[in-house]
Structures are given as structure tokens and as C-alpha cells.
Amino acid sequence: MDALAKYRNLLGDMGRYGSALRLLSWDQETHMPPKGIEARSEATGMLSRKRFELLVSDELARCLAELREADGLSEVERASVRHVGKEHSRNRAIPPALVEEKSAAEAQAQAAWAAARKASDFAAFLPHLEKMVGYARQFAEYYGYDEHPYDALLEDFEPGMTCRKLRAIIEPLRAELVPFLKKLVDEGTAPDASFLRGTYRVDEQRRLSRRALEVILYDFEAGGLADVAHPFTILIAPGDVRVTNRYVESDVLSGIFGALHEGGHALYNQGIPAELYRLGVAGGASNGIHESQSRMIENQVGRSLEFWNFFQPVLAEHFPQFGRVAPQALFAAANLVAPSFIRVDADEVTYNFHVMLRFEIEAGLIDGSIEAADLPELWNDAMKRYLGIVPPSDAQGVLQDVHWSVGAFGYFPSYMLGNLYAAQLYATMRDQVPHLDAAIGRGDLKPLVGWLRENVHRYGAMYEPQELMERITGHELDSAHFVRYVKEKYGAIYGCQTPSDS
């Protein structure tokens, strides 16, 4: 058998193990009874080992070496060799014993974090956090880096991104956003959202979520919607991309925006061709690019006046009390800006500050300039600097996110990058698609989804994020698009535009 056929076979087996693992994990979050956890962990442990053995195998190494020299590969096949080759060598770089040790420590750290957050007891989590930082620093050394050990970790989430580049993105963004937020708060008029107070039946909210997903052209024949505590989207296999959502009785908007957010991720996965999946390049260009798709559907689309022009009657079909509410009022209420403690609840203007402060802390933990023990104090200082508020407890501060307990250092910047990519992609789309706003105002998302399919989705992980952005928009990531977007939108909503903003 030639190298390419052997390579495709190996990827096929890895793909099927991966698919089974994701199905088990989806079931674990949605349907599995609590007592099923022990047997489930054994099954997932065995399947992950099988997949991992193939990924780091000498057989795959030989195929990759041969294919790197081969002529006549298609563009997708060459992208696959680069992409899978990188995953192969990064995973081979870590001694297997260390991988096992870390995953055992991770399970304990995650349980300790959940208990510590509940009790708002940072000291109880500290020894676990120190351990996870230690592993991250060891992994960074094994992966290797040019400038900063954090760069080696960023690579898992945002290929090509570095500390230096992030600082160059963050500095001008912070310089624009800090005074803009102050101006909104001090001089602007916050929209009235009091009419949203009420109790909204969960079963009706669930039906409304399905409507929202239908509007954005999520394919229910190739997916489904389930309830969970922490919503996510999962690509089980081509033709099977599932979304999950959560509903809060007192908050009708959170279920809608949750559905739109996860639906944006799902559209990306549903738009990736099966051939890319078979060749292991179906995961999206990066976490940041994936997040750009969800944030665009949630914010640029879902929090626009055009969206509410057609969605207000849909909302009123499910909750008749909105029958006489103007779309403009819903649009404004969906765009309240207020400094808040919890990242996942943050509005578009303040969200990036939550990421900036986590990045400062993470980079310092990894290069050793920050001690884990000092985190609560550093966290509260940074909250004060960026948002002018200090959380009343560590549960609402340094303990709020799960990421550090599972050793995912380097993940947070993807959330900010997603916002920035979304604004830049959306600006390009508006230049290229005539009458985009009018189509959205009619509830017709075909032009929008068609553009995303053509320009973003169909490439999967074939290109790294910066290359993809250059191909689509003509230049690398530039936060000026995001700044222009929030200034125009929120300046108008808050009635505090100045000539210099336009």
C-alpha cells in the first residue's frame, strides 16, 4: 500500500475513535445518569489511549515523512500533512508518563476547583493550581519556543500567535476601549430593559431556541438540540453536529443568545466538507476563528436592529407579552453595557477586558514573574484598573472559570481574538454582499451564511488564522474594525457620539 493510502487509513481510524469519544462525551453531559460515570471513564480512557497510540505511532511518522517529500498531493492533502504532522510531533514531544500524570492531576484539580468555587475558598484550590501551572511550564519547555514559554501553549489554541503579537493587539485596543467605556457610563443614557423582567417558561424558551436556530439555517437533519448546564457545540462526525443550550426562567434573552452563539459554532462545523474531516483538518482554523463564527451570529447578527425587526414577532408568538414591544426597544435592551464580574455574562464593550486581565496573569504565571498565591489580589487589582469594580468574593473573581483547573493555559485569548476576527470578517462581508442588512431585516440569512460557507467554513483548518484572514480580508488581524464597530453601535444606542467617533 502506498503512503497516502496508509495515511488515510490511519486518519480514518483516528477519526472513528475521536467520533466515538465525542459521542460519549456529549451523552455524558446531556443524558448519562450520575452512576454511569465510573464505567464511562473506563470506556473513554481506553478509546483515548487507542487514538493517542495511533497519533504518536512510528507508522504515522513514516507516512508523514514520505508524504512531505511526495509530489502530486492535493492542496487539502498537503494541508493535512502540515496540520496532522504538527499534532503528531507536539504529542510525541511529551513523555507519555508525564501525560498520564497530568491527566490524573487534572481530574483532581477540576473537582477541587468546583468545590473551591462553591465555597469561594481560593486557598483550597491553590495547591492544585500550582501543580497545573507546573505542568504547563514543563509542557512549554518540551514543545519549545523562540521568545516566551507562553507562546508554546498559545500554539494549541491559536496557531502562530505569540505574547508579543498579543501585546501589540491589546495595547491599542485597550487605549481605545477604556476611555470609550468611561464615556458611555458617564455621559451616555443606558437603554431601558425593565420590560424584560418576568418569568419565561423553559419549554417555550426551548421551542424559541429551535426557531432561532432555524432562522440562521442550522440543519436539524444533521444535528439536534439538547439541554445542559454549560452549553457547547460538538462535531460528532460529518452530518452530525449537535448544539446544547441552557434556559434561565427569569431571562428570556439568554436562551436566545445562547442558541445563536452555539448555532454559529455549529454552522462552521456543518459547513466543513467531509473530505477535510477524513483528512483531519475539520476542526476550524483556530479557537479564535471558531469563536468569531459564534460571536458574529450572536452579536453582529443577533444584537442588531435588523434581527429584532423580524424576530420580535417570532418572540411574540412564543411570549405574547412582547406583541406590542417595538423591535427598537428589544434591540436596545439586548445591548446594555455595564462593567460586571463574570466574563461569560459580559457585554460586547467590556468583554475583552476580562480576557486582557487573564492574559496578563497567565503569561506571568508561565514565565514565573507571578506566583499563583498572589492571584486573588492581582485579579482584583486588574478588575479595578479595567472595569472599576472589585468582585465581592473569589467565586465571582479569580475562581469563576474552569480553564486553569484543566491546565488550559493559553485558551482565554481566543475569546478576545474571536470578537476581533468577527468584526473584521463582518466588515469585509458587508463590502462584498449587497443589501446584507436588508436581507437580515427580512429574516433571510442565506446571503450571510453563503458568504461564510464560501470564505471561511469550507477551508476548515487548512490555513492558519493569519493566513486565512489575509486571504479573506486582504490583511492580518486589525482591532480597528472592532473599535469602529462598537463605537458606532454603542455611541448611537447610548446617544453619546462625537464627531471624532464617526
Residues noted as catalytic: 262
Shortest gap between Cβ of 235 and Zn ion (angstroms)? 13
**CA 287-290-294 angle, 5° bins:** 130
Q: What are the grid coordinates assigned to 23, written together?
A: 459521542
Supply the minimum distance, in Å, between the C-beta of residue 75 and Zn ion. 28
Q: Which is nearer to Zn ion, 150 or 268 (CB)?
A: 268
Nearest-approach distance from CB 478 to Zn ion, in angstroms: 22
**CA–CA gap between residue 105 and residue 128 (Å, rounded):** 8
Whichever of 80 and 294 has its CB closer to Zn ion, that residue is 294
- Order of strands, sheet of 233-237, starting from the edge strand that comes earlier in the sequence: 223-227, 240-245, 233-237
Q: Which is nearer to Zn ion, 232 or 319 (CB)?
A: 232
CB-wise, 102 or 457, nearer to Zn ion?
457
| Whether the Cβ atoms of residue 292 and residue 251 lie closer than 8 Å to each other | no
Residue whose C-alpha cell is 491553590: 126
Q: Which H or E element spans position 225?
A: strand 223-227
Alpha-carbon dihedral sign for residues 369, 374, 375, 381: negative
The 3-state DSSP class for residue 223 equals: strand
Bridge partners of residue 226, in order along the sequence:
244
Q: Quick one: which of 28, 12, 22 has its CA closest to 47?
A: 22
Nearer to Zn ion, 382 or 461 (CB): 461
* Residue 428: how many other CB atoms lie within 10 Å: 18
Minimum distance from residue 66 beta carbon to Zn ion (Å)? 38
> Grid coordinates representing 71?
509530489
The site string for Zn ion over 175-204 (x = CB under 5 A, - otherwise) reads ------------------------------
| Smallest distance, Zn ion to C-beta of residue 122, A | 27
Which residue's CB atom is positioned nearest to Zn ion? 294
Q: How crowded is residue 488: how many other Cβ atoms within 10 Å of its Cβ?
A: 13
Give the closest residue to 268 by CA, choosing from 292, 244, 248, 302: 292
The number of beta carbons lying within 10 Å of the beta carbon of residue 9 is 13
Report the nearest approach of Zn ion to the CB of residue 293 (Å).
9
Which helix (H) or strand (E) segment holds residue 427: the answer is helix 413-432
- Smallest distance, Zn ion to C-beta of residue 475, A: 25
- In sequence order, which residues have a C-beta less than 8 Å from that of residue 78 and are 6 or more positions away? none
Please, which residue, 162 or 414, has the CB nearer to Zn ion? 414
Rank residues 354 and 487 by Cβ distance to Zn ion and give the closer one. 354
Beta strands in 331-415 (DSSP E): none
For 116, what's the count of Cα atoms within 13 Å in the CB-facing half-sphere?
A: 24
First to last CA, the chain: 63
Scan residues 82-141 and list those touching Zn ion (CB under 5 A): none
Angle between helix 75-93 and 58-69 (nearest 10): 140
Count, residues near Zn ion per rule CB under 5 A: 1
Which helix (H) or strand (E) covers residue 227, if one does? strand 223-227
Phi and psi for 399 in degrees, rounded to 5? -95, 5
Per-residue string for binding with Zn ion, 220-259, x by CB under 5 A?
----------------------------------------
Kindly state the smallest distance separating residue 176's Cβ from Zn ion, in Å.
24
What's the full length of the chain, in residues? 502
Q: What is the spatial distance between Cα 146 and Cα 301, in angstroms, rounded to a whole number?
A: 39
d(CA 238, CA 220): 13
- The residue (of 244 and 294) whose beta carbon lies closer to Zn ion is 294
**x-or-dash pattern for Zn ion, window 277-306, by CB under 5 A?**
-----------------x------------
Q: How far is the CB of 411 from Zn ion (least distance, A)?
A: 11
Between 258 and 391, name the residue whose CB sits nearer to Zn ion.
258
Which residues bind to Zn ion, rule: CB under 5 A?
294
